Amino acid sequence: MVETLSSKEGSSSAAGNLKAVFPGKYIQGEGALGELPDLIGLLGRRGLILASPSAKREYLSGYASQGLPLEEFRGECCEGEIRRLTEIVRREGADVLVGMGGGKAVDTAKIAADRAGIPVLIVPTIASTDAPCSGCAVVYTEEGVFESVSYQRMNPSVVLVDTKVIAAAPTRFLVAGMGDALATWFEARSCERTQSANECGGYTTLTGLTLARLCYDTLLRYGPDAKRASQRKIVTPALSHIVEANILLSGIGFESSGLGAAHSVHNGLTALEETHPYYHGEKVAFGLLTGLHLTDAPPEETAGVYGFCEEIGLPTTLSGIGVDAADRERLGRAAWKACAPQEGIHHEAGAMTPEKVLNAMIAADALGSDRKARQGT
């Protein structure tokens, strides 16, 4: 996500309450999509599906003939599209909304359902971020420029993940999802250490922290095998564990335990146009490496994270996310944005300044480059 809730809910979190949030149901399996009609029936009488064009074409061809209204997502989670969908929900008299596709289709469905006051059922078709289980959504302008984070009243009623669908998607999505999930434990740990607010307006629980840790351990254990399964488009236990880590464990982990330097550096990097072709999780991975240098993490721990990134193909250098490491002026701009007052980077111990962040970015890139040179890659 791109900003933190701490500034908004400062007064309630100041009360010191622990908070954790979850989706109502999480269902994952090969062919799990077959449960969709029953789940719609469980939540309401009249469902409406918002699907990305590819999800509609590939997975929902039988639904239109069953008389279930199917709306095609127009590509951007922006105010116009949210309003259009909310209007269709009202016109159709829908009492359950399904959001199926990538992050933007899913986020649009979350907001429209919240506005219409009906439950939302999320069907992610890729595992590239930890957004599906969360109650927040990112809103952009019509042109795709970040505008705000929208917090819904409740998390999705159901998150339905068909591992066969995820396995059929390009591997880069799954790897990027591992990059997003890789940061979860470190950011959760920082929030716990400094007693900083999480993303649902409270403080972390043992539950949130333990799931964040399990997320990290699962990635290290099964990540490389899951990548190989994805490359061959097969569902294996390893792939299944990584889908759970990317979507469920990381989703609960970030929302219920909080964000830190990794996501703030990601947000800073989005100020540089050259990073735009790279996925959220790829930039978060570099943000995590920066965060490890910034917070003086033990070198052996840092080495382990670099090793994992190298093994599964996440970027470990600035050039790996399109940035010229020699251009300090541009890097400084990203570092400055990463330190904006509302950023989770201030959940790290000590005072965070653009200069420290700039130095950590350069240090992270230097280690990544040296390791590459040594490995001859």
Catalytic residue positions, numbered: 180, 263, 266, 280
Nearest to 334 by CA among 272, 245, 259: 272
For Zn ion, give the closer residue by CB, 36 or 284.
284
Position closest to Zn ion via CB: 180
- Do residues 181 and 245 touch, judged by C-beta distance below 8 A? yes
Cβ proximity to Zn ion: between 180 and 282 the closer is 180
Quick one: which segment of 74-82, 134-142, 172-180, 222-230 binds Zn ion (CB under 5 A)? 172-180
Provide the minimum distance between the beta carbon of 299 and Zn ion in the complex, in angstroms, as a whole number. Answer: 26
- Sole window of 132-140, 179-187, 295-303, 347-355 interacting with Zn ion (rule: CB under 5 A): 179-187
**Residue 29: closest CA among 213, 226, 164:** 164
**Calpha distance 173→248 (Å, rounded):** 16
User: What is the spatial distance between Cα 181 and Cα 249, in angstroms, rounded to a whole number?
Assistant: 8
Q: Report the C-alpha gap between 71 and 375 in whole angstroms.
A: 49
Segment interacting with Zn ion (CB under 5 A) among 133-141, 157-165, 174-182, 302-310: 174-182
**Where does the chain show beta strands of DSSP type E?**
25-29, 47-51, 70-72, 96-101, 120-124, 136-140, 146-151, 158-162
Closest distance between Zn ion and the C-beta of residue 57, in Å? 28
| Site track 125-164 with Zn ion (rule: CB under 5 A), x = hit | ----------------------------------------
Taking the CA of residue 263 as centre, how many other CA atoms within 13 Å lie in the half-sphere pointing to its CB? 28
255 binds Zn ion (CB under 5 A): no
Q: Does 9 bind Zn ion (CB under 5 A)?
A: no
Work out whether the CA dihedral 142, 146, 148, 149 comes out positive or negative. Answer: positive
**Residue 139 dihedral angles phi and psi, to the nearest 5°:** -105, 135
CB of 177 to Zn ion, least distance (A): 9
Determine, following the binding rule CB under 5 A, whether residue 180 of this chain makes contact with Zn ion.
yes
Three-state secondary-structure class, residue 154: coil
Stretch that binds Zn ion, among 3-11, 178-186, 295-303, 305-313 (CB under 5 A): 178-186
Give the interface with Zn ion as residue ranges (CB under 5 A): 180
